[in-house]
Structure 1
Amino acid sequence: MKRHEFYFARTAGVCIVLLAMSCLAAGCHQIVHIEDTQGQAIAGAQVTTQMAEGSGSGPGPSATTNRFGDAMLKRTSYNDPPLWIIVHKPGYRRRGVAYSPDNKIVIQIQRIIPK
């Protein structure tokens, strides 16, 4: 199994995840699952990508999570994996990223509690 490396940055309340040299599921779509820290699916989160070099750099496909917390991101004709995944859900911040056994990218977000 290939080792995956994740890099995180936080700007203006938006979670950005850099997926470096990842080997993702084959097919026309990449599934990105968004859940909270208790494992509950988050509906209505906006998921946007930045594509890898082969397909040209620039913004990639975006999708909104369904009621199961899944966003279906269309793959490029080069079948390149997304280089960046940006998740935006008001009131939440990124907590962690993992791959599930069924090749979903799972991003965990946490509710921000106002002080």
Structure 2
Amino acid sequence: MGIEDFTYEEYGGEVGDIYYVLKLREWKEYSAKRISLPAPTVKVAVVAPVARSGSPPKPQTKTHTVVAGDSLWAIAKKYYNDGSQYPKIYEANKDTIDKRNKGTGNPKYTIYPGQVFNIP
């Protein structure tokens, strides 16, 4: 807190009465603050291919269950080592993401804990 302006006045009639006006300014620190979040728990299910006679094995499908604090960027960073690849995950799971966001007014990339995404 700091004093921005200080004035005083004396009025006739009452001897010794002095009227003060103080204008105060509140100072707030606007620097960035560092916070630490707990490491998210990630569940990954890997489906092993089943070998059938005469047919090639199917490629493995990775899934990711969203936990609090996850973002598409963080998930892409985890699986591709490049967060900017998040549109791949969005496109592969667009129906799931858009269905949950419908009517909420949230941005289209908003995800929620418990959602299970396929990782292409």
TM-score above 0.5: no
Structure index of larger Rg: 2
Higher strand share: 1
Larger relative contact order (Cα-Cα within 8 Å, sequence gap ≥ 6): 1
